[in-house]
Structures are given as structure tokens and as C-alpha cells.
Amino acid sequence: PMSECLFCKIRQGEIPADIIFENDDVLAFNDVNPQAPVHLLIIPKKHISTVNDMVDDDQLIMGKLFSAARAIAKQKGVSDDGYRLVVNCNEKAGQTVFHIHMHMLADRALTWPPG
């Protein structure tokens, strides 16, 4: 439930995070266990557990995650070199926090396919 959601607690300031970007709908903060020199998480302020739990009205909010990613990439100076955006859905993809989040990874060469 939302009351126990780690990222809702970060949004509410109940758990500290290194906030990188914020607007009315979106919050971004550094990943606590970075997998690249730039590794941050971009979340909707609205609690949505997984991509499977999106309703049609959430399309606009999810688009705003991409707009935030674009702004953050520019701010970090990684737009031209490149960056990876990842959304894991459910256990087999490696989702561990059940509040939708977009990973942004940058500042090192990333391999494909991912593990």
C-alpha cells in the first residue's frame, strides 16, 4: 500500500533523498546504489505500482517523466554522449520498488543486451 511505499515516503520528505529535479508531477533523485556515474530515478508523484497498474489518465504523467529526463540529461551534460532510460516491471525484470520509476544511467559505456 501507498502508506508503506518507499518512494511515496521520499516524495513526502519522510525519507531523505538527493533530489535532482522536481515539478508538480515529477520528482527525481539519485539512486542510492548507483550502477553508473549518473544514475538517478525519475518518478511520478502519483503512486502507481507498476506499468501494469497504469490507467489511461496516467499517459500524460508518464510522458512527463520523459520530459524530466530530457531536462536532467541537459543539466548533467550527457544529452549528446547518450544515456539509458529503463523501467522495470515486476520481478522477472528486476523491479524491487513498487512505485513506477524510470532509471536514468549515463556517463559510462553501457552494454546491450542488459543482463
Catalytic residue annotation: 101
Cell numbers found for residue 107: 556517463
The item of ligand AMP, Zn ion, none sharing an interface with residue 3, based on CB under 5 to 8 Å by kind, is none
The item of Zn ion, ligand AMP, none sharing an interface with residue 78, based on CB under 5 to 8 Å by kind, is none
Instruction: Please tell me the distance from the alpha carbon of residue 69 to that of residue 20, in angstroms, as a whole number.
Output: 11
Least distance (Å) between residue 21 CB and Zn ion: 18
Q: Which of residues 5-34 bind Zn ion (CB under 5 A)?
A: 5, 7-8
Instruction: Please tell me the distance from the alpha carbon of residue 76 to that of residue 36, in angstroms, as a whole number.
Output: 13
Of the two residues 77 and 94, which places its CB atom closer to ligand AMP in the complex? 94
Instruction: Please tell me the distance from the alpha carbon of residue 49 to that of residue 113, in angstroms, as a whole number.
Output: 25
